[in-house]
Structure 1
Amino acid sequence: MDAGLDPTGLQRLLLLAIEEDLGSGDITGIATIDPQWLGEAEIRAKQPLVAAGLEILAPFWDLIDPEVKIETPATDGQRLVVGDRLAIVRGRVRSLLAGERICLNLLCHLCGVATLTAAYVEQVGPHRARILDTRKTNPGMRRLEKAAVRAGGGHNHRFGLYDQILIKDNHVDACGGVTAAIRKARLEFPQAPLEIEVRNEEELREALAEQAPVILLDNMDLDRIRRCVEIAAGRAELEVSGGVTLDRIAALAATGIDRISVGALTHSVPAADLHMKLTPNRA
């Protein structure tokens, strides 16, 4: 699994965002700002948060204006309080204003992902469970969002359909059962990481008999999860998903589960509150 950012994909995303917002140019900036005016803008936190997405700043501002200079006092994963600086951007005022909204849109979202992830991780407490993301990401944003999950202390699940076999209930039904599905998958892709979803104890025992390394318990209540943990007895990593909310994490982790996957980390995360304050130098 390649957890790094893809420079080509990142540039494609940034160019799309720039085209969408700037179009043929910032007519307000052109109308009101002298092209030679220089300035400095600070991006600061307006709430406690976990920083993320700072690695996009240099490539983004280089596309807006190659002469813009970036300084990042914060680092991804750093916990910030109100007023802390994430970045300082220096250059032509027109350029700073042209890129302000796109920059904040991306940073607010990614810091929001990291901040929410950190809240989930904190709720695990002393237990061994790891918080994982899912494929429920925004189109084109997956690698950035998954990097933000890591910044918040979480872990990445598969990046796509290509890097891990995850046999869900529909696959099981189509194949005629857990055993058949696992055997067919291993025959086709023997080296691929494998996980299978089970719906009851009988399917769990089948998956254990086939030595499935990771078993997903989908939408089970706490009593059923505890029973499955007892049955597995450490022979496979057990993951829970479905209906996972922040207020349930402590109880889920206390069952002895190994992994908790949370779609909300990326698909419905609130944006962090940041602002970019410009100080122009019209001399």
Structure 2
Amino acid sequence: MNDVFDVFFDHATIDAWIAEDAGYLDLTAHLLGLGAQPACIAFTLRGAGVAACTEEAARVLQHCGAQLLRLRPSGTPVPAGSELLAASGPAASVLRAWKVVQNLLETACGIASATAAMVAAVQATAPGVALLTTRKSAPGLRRIALKATLCGGAHPHRLGVGETVLVFAQHRALLGDAPSGHWPALVQRLARMAPALAEKLCVIEVTSLEEAWLAAQAGAQVLQFDKVAPPQLRAWGPQLRARYPQLRLLAAGGIHLGNVADYAASGVDALVSSSPHHAPPADVAVQVLPLQ
């Protein structure tokens, strides 16, 4: 049974995608006189991958006036050469939806497939380690990226700045980013406040063992190591956990398919990555035929 990846896309979003490409008139279809001709359209994944955003693709077709015939649910592994979805309707409707749907599927399936490959590499090495994806997606694409990474088996790290308490080096720079600065005292205040804010944890980004000790001593519940190599993580983690056994450790920065297994074996609790968001698009073939 497939999971339901219930990421919300409002009608205005779907219509905006259509309007961007076909907001007025398909001049070619109009001049060829194809508008009313019954037609069917099918989208096929040329290589093996993971289906993603097929439900939203179906809505694009429906908003354009087509009727859905078949759909492979998001999150489903797809063998090479398999159909993702198909629809029928007036040629004007299926042609208006054509490129919008193809672009959506290629982007989403590419992200989902890349995510699934990273998740598989992590699970093969350290089954208890989670892969988390960041909010670093292109503006306007966050919902697509979120649904696609969920379909690939990852979880969101942070969807927006109002969701979690996460102190970056950029925040600390404004507070006196040095052992003699004010940021450890502020972390103590945040650590006391965070549980009262809907039970949120206090997460501090660190880049060295010295910063990690300062943050842990101040009361941070989670340390996010930025661009720290796996050998260092393997050495630092046991030291920190020996004194702070409840401390959670994350690794972030530069994590991709080529090194994700090494990071998974470093002893952290989760890996934070933006890599799936920049995956190459999937190759989706489109066939349009007259409907007999």
Are the equivalent residues in 2 in contact too, given 1:204–1:228 (CA < 8 A)?
no
Matched, 1:278 2:274: no
Contact 1:216 1:239 in 2 (8 A): yes
Answering whether residue 185 of structure 2 is matched by residue 180 of structure 1, we say yes
Matched, 1:243 2:243: no
Shift of 1:186: 4.6
Q: Which amino acid aligns with 2:59?
A: P
- TM-score, normalised with respect to structure 2: 0.87
Q: Distance in 2 between matches of 1:177 and 1:242?
A: 26
Tell whether the 8 Å contact from 1:38 to 1:280 is kept in structure 2 after alignment: yes
**Residue by residue, what CA displacement relative to the aligned partner does 1:161-185 show, whole Å, maximum 9, x if unpaired?**
1111111012123223542232343
- Cα RMSD (Å): 2.0
Q: Tell me the secondary structure at the aligned position of residue 18 of structure 2.
A: helix
Separation (CA, whole Å) in 1 of partners of 2:183 and 2:26: 57
Residues 92-107 of structure 1: matches in 2 within 5 Å?
92-107=90-105
TM-aligned CA deviation for residue 61 of structure 1: 2.1
Give the alignment of 1:12-161 within 5 angstroms: 12-65=12-65, 68-124=66-122, 125-127=124-126, 128-161=128-161
Q: Distance in 2 between matches of 1:231 and 1:174?
A: 29
Rounded Cα–Cα distance in structure 2 between residues aligned with 1:42 and 1:22: 19
Contact 2:40 2:290 in 1 (8 A): yes
Check 1:173–1:29 CA distance in 2 against 1; reply closer, same or farther (3 A cut). Answer: same
The TM-score with structure 1 as length reference comes to 0.90
Instruction: Verify the 8 A CA contact 2:191 2:219 in the aligned structure 1.
Output: no
Gaps in structure 2 of 5+ consecutive residues: 176-180
CA–CA separation in structure 1 for the residues paired with 2:266 and 2:13: 41
Amino acid aligned to 2:255? V
- 1:116 to 1:258, Cα distance in 2 relative to 1, 3 A: same
Aligned-pair CA distance for 1:108: 0.6
Q: Name the CA distance, whole Å, in 2 between partners of 1:62 and 1:107.
A: 16
Which SS does the other structure have where 1:217 is aligned? strand
What is the Cα deviation at residue 237 of structure 1? 1.8
Q: Is the 8 A contact 2:9 2:143 kept in 1?
A: no
Which stretch shifts more, 111-120 or 136-145? Answer: 136-145
Partner of 1:255: 266
Give the one of 216, 232, 240 matched to 1:208: 216
Distance 1:220 1:211 in 2: 21
Q: Contact 1:39–1:92 at 8 Å: present in 2 too?
A: yes
Quick one: which amino acid aligns to residue 263 of structure 1?
S
Q: Distance in 2 between matches of 1:122 and 1:161?
A: 29
Give, in whole Å, the separation in 1 of the partners of 2:24 and 2:204: 50
1:163 aligns with 2:163: yes
